[in-house]
Chains A and B, each alone.
Chain A
Amino acid sequence: MELLPKTRVELRVRLKVGRTALDEFMAEDEPKEQLPSPLLLAFAPLHRTAMGVACGVVLGGLLFLMTLFLVAKGGYPVGPTLALLGQFFFGYTVTFPGAFVGLLWGFMTGFLLGWGFAVVRNLVVWSWLLLIRSRAEMEQYGDFLDHM
């Protein structure tokens, strides 16, 4: 075969390998329904409320468990460093009732953080998408007048 100069040669290799045990473990909770197109997977927004609730559950649960753990462990004084959170979370103390107050405060703080993260992430993705689209349009119609 004779190759002319400036000719592009494209070589595509498709490699098919079996699923390893790690792949099986990771793919276990993948959605079973038909996957959307790669474009949707790349640019789909985060669910703001879901991200807020998830972060709230994690932060609230973590603070709740940490407080209960220190209360159960006992000693004197109980959790003096963790108790400093009471400076921001009014009513929070390292006691059994304080663990529930911490759960509420942790959930609210986590919700705000997660929700805010999702909003900012979605804004950045949409701005990026707009930029890509406007660049593509410029490339497509940039030489429009040349064809008149």
Chain B
Amino acid sequence: MLREEEQLAKAVVRLNAKLLGVVLGTLLGIGLFLVTNFLILKGGPDVGRHLSLLSQFFFGYRVTFVGSLVGFLYAFVVGFLIGWVLGAVYNKVARV
């Protein structure tokens, strides 16, 4: 049996794709939720002019409180997919 140090030199981290998806989805969702509500609280004449461009991809998303909830859902789904693909591709390539 190889020594621990030799094993360590040969080992690589494996990722849990679904877990990574949930983590990235949660981070992205909460991030968009917080950023949207921050802009709402800040106020101003044209609230979130640039952030509202996300509605080009996220239908129904607006820089309002209800919009931030819609944005949370969209961002969670997108984050989950990104994390899942990232983990799956990583594990596939690392296994070769």
- Do A and B interact? yes
Q: Which residues of A contact B (CB under 8 A)?
A: 25-26, 28-31, 36-37, 39-40, 43-47, 49-51, 53-55, 57-58, 61-62, 66, 69-70, 73, 79, 81
Would A40 and B93 count as touching, CB distance under 8 A?
no
Asked, given contacts A25-B18, A29-B17, A37-B4, whether A54 binds B82 with beta carbons under 8 Å apart, the answer is: no
A-B CB contact pairs (8 Å), 27 listed: A26-B16, A26-B18, A29-B16, A29-B18, A30-B16, A31-B14, A36-B7, A37-B7, A40-B4, A40-B11, A44-B8, A46-B12, A47-B90, A47-B94, A49-B93, A50-B12, A50-B90, A50-B92, A50-B94, A54-B87, A54-B89, A54-B90, A57-B85, A57-B89, A58-B82, A61-B85, A70-B56
Residues of A within 8 A of B17 (CB): 29
